[in-house]
Amino acid sequence: MSPEQKAFWSLSPEESFKLLNTSQDGLDSEDAGRRLRDSGPNVLRPKRSFNVLKLFLAQFKSPIIIILLFAAALSLFLKDPTDAIIIMIIVLVSGLLGFWQELDATNAVNRLMEMVKVKVTVIRDGISREIWFDDVVKGDIVLLSAGSAVPGDCMILESKDLFVNEAVLTGETFPVEKMPGTLPPNTPLSKRTNVVFMGTHAVSGSGKALVFRTGKETEFGRITERIGLKPPEPEFERGVKQFGYLLMEVTLFLIIAIFAINVYLVRPVLESFIFALALAVGLTPQLLPAIISINLARGAKRMASKSVIVKQLSSIENFGSMNVLCSDKTGTITEGIIKVHSAVDIQGAENKKVLFYAYLNAVYETGYASPIDEALRSYSEFDITGYDKVDEVPYDFFRKRLSVLLSTCEKNIMITKGAMKNVLEACDLAESPDGSIIEIDKVSDALERQFTDLSGQGYRTLGIAYREVSGRHITRDDEKGMTFLGTLVLYDPPKPDIADIIKELKELGVSLKIITGDNRLVAASLSREIGLGSAKIVAGPEIAMTGDDALINIAASADVFAEVEPNQKERIILAMKKAGNVVGYIGDGINDGPALHVADVSISVESAVDVAKDAASIVLLEKDLGVLVEGVKEGRVTFVNTLKYVFMATSANFGNMFSMAGASLILPFLPLLPKQILLTNLMTDLPEMTIAADNVDPEMVDVPRRWDIGFIKKFMITFGILSSVFDFLTFGVLILIMNASMDQFRTGWFLESIVSATMIVLVIRTRKPFFMSRPGRYLFLSTLFVIAATLLFPYTPLAPIFGFKPLPPSFILVLGLIVLAYVIMAEVTKRLFYKMVKY
């Protein structure tokens, strides 16, 4: 039986090593590499392999393009090689442009992803080393600690107070303790206490585990495969899909109608068919996927230069439309460097013993790394000779305490450090400054006043307690009957510029809401320090007693959430989402995973624990809200530039193609030949491909913006009609006034349609008058190039091949006046449109 089929929780370690052909020293690097090649990367879904040829061929996967190439080949077979070759060359050039841009974008994104991949500690070649999560194979020995993501289904070999959050598999909120042992083969998943599963993470303690299953073979992988788990589709992608469906419906209708009418008018069947397909190419936003990919990739590159790494490109849109940001205070609002202000006894006086016991607890704890412990360890003047660590009960977010058992030549002493309330719950006694022991009830009121006073001044407090223990092993149950020693007073000052950053976020339309485990008094003091003097504070106990529906209103009006339990963070985020907000959440801790998963914009930092960094779609290289402000701006720039292409595809291009369809029904000849239509599409696509690098007006970045398909429909109708009006004006002038021949008509409309479509890009890219908004350099240069190339094209040797001929100066002058009138009317229409239609 293979390892993935075996009920490995029923095996002994020796049987497991034999089955997997490994040992306590782990795999050797050569064997691990071979296993990785055989089994593939440790992922739930195989990553799309990056293949240059596939990327190139993907540019031609549109059914309309395929049919068009087939029609061109048929034309070639029917002895009309010139048109067929021209059509195939134009389609090829258009595909090459999209391929080159997407290749550059894909390579850039892949480089960024390498910066924030999650690593795992394994034993290989007999030593511990860090490897990528994806490179874990069956037979690896994995070392787990608080915050570690479990990289596969594993058997526990060793553990020390190892508690694992398995909510993703079992729905159980409380962490499960894991320890070595063997269990019957029929033990249900929730009872397998000697196994850890992929998709879960360690909450506290440490352990060593043997990997039995990876990737799709794991329990989580099977569930994912069976029910098709995938992240919810972002709002922007849904909008793009709806927009694509809208245009495709119009396209399909026009193809059938135009082809049928042209055949009815006894025009050549093949030419009518290719003409209808060429129009479809003009109507179909075939560049939209490429433009979105290029826009998002360039946006990700710009954001990376601002120390913001985007793991999921689709999250950029949500980043730009985010209007609520939830954040812990440590490291984002405050300096994140905990400082010990003082250590006081039960009477509030400085006490060296309190600080010494806190120091002992911090020096010997080995669980979850805490900035508080780092601050305490800096007191190197203490001599701890004679104190040996015997045992430990690691910190967790439910007890909110940490205990270590130390041995001296005289006794074994357990020292506990933790949240004041939780430590006092474990105490029956208290030590007076003179060393005498009294009942805790006699000083409880004084301790409450001390706690309130310190908290009101913005200090964070931890209780220190101790108890002599007869044995050499402690558990959570031993945290009782303790003697309260004193209070550790801590201070984490606000960042100097945080008030300005909060103000800047507010100016960007982003409301900052602080979520902290600190008590209400500390939260109130911090709010005053950072300029939120009248902040509304909601505490965890109040949230616990509030239903989900009522929480929607409470969360909307609150500025600070204090005394928040880990499971309440997710409820707060969901409540604000239900109120119609796009919610971002910054988290870097073990208990932030659920909130990160439900947030619209999940943000972590490079130094975060594995589970938080893995759950985040955006990773900050610096834990600084100032960095986030820049990221929000870049996200909005990317979003706005993506919408610009959508607006362009629904204005001049759409209008021109629609007009051409109408003209084909009126004129005794096709208004443009298929090859001329495709050339028109290619020329108008060139400026639009540079839109990702375009400048964005400051007012477009000032407020969050969201996808609005209704707004785009109105935009399409308004500017499409405007474009068609001037197209038919051009038809009338060319036929009725200029008495244009068929070739002159086609040449004149070719010039007018490209120049007007190119100029209109400069108009609709901004809400300002176009001459008051500076376009990006590449957009401006490509616009000039296309206009010049279009005007010169009828005078080149290629013109006869495409069926064009030089026009008299009078034609050029009249067409120039029509384009000028079109630009002026577009400006007027734009001003009226934005007055009447809000977005």
Task: Look at strands 601-605 and 618-620 and give their pairing.
Answer: parallel
Task: Judge contact between 397 and 566, C-beta under 8 A.
Answer: yes
Half-sphere exposure of 157 (CA within 13 A, CB side): 22
Inter-helix orientation angle 625-649/288-305, to 10°: 160
- Residue identified by tokens 């971002």 is 584
Phi first, then psi, for residue 59 (nearest 5°) are -70, -15
Q: Is 31 a catalytic residue?
A: no
Residues 6+ apart with CB under 8 A from 268: none
**264's tokens:** 């009815």
Token output for 308: 């913001």
Please count the helices (runs of H) and the strands (runs of E) in the chain: 30, 23
Q: Are 127 and 29 in contact (CB under 8 A)?
A: no
Q: Which of 83, 135, 161, 328 is catalytic?
A: 328
What's at 441, amino acid-wise?
D
> Two tokens at 826?
């577009």
Q: Where are the alpha helices (DSSP H) in 704-808?
A: 709-732, 742-764, 777-792, 799-802
Q: Contact at 8 Å (CB) between 745 and 660? A: no
Please say whether the beta carbons of 600 and 322 come within 8 A. yes
**C-beta separation of 490 from 461 below 8 A:** yes
CA-CA-CA-CA dihedral for 478, 416, 593, 582, to nearest 10? 130
Residue 445 to residue 440: CA distance in whole angstroms: 10
Residue 268: CA count within 13 A, CB half-sphere: 11
* 620 close to 603: Cβ distance less than 8 angstroms: yes
Q: What are phi and psi of 322, to 5 degrees?
A: -60, 130
**Residue 109 contacts by C-beta under 8 Å, 6 or more apart in sequence?**
297, 300, 313
Contact 562, 543 (CB under 8 A): no
Report which residue type is found at 34.
R
Residue recorded with tokens 């245009």: 247
Distance CA 120, CA 37 (A): 19
Kindly list the catalytic residues: 328
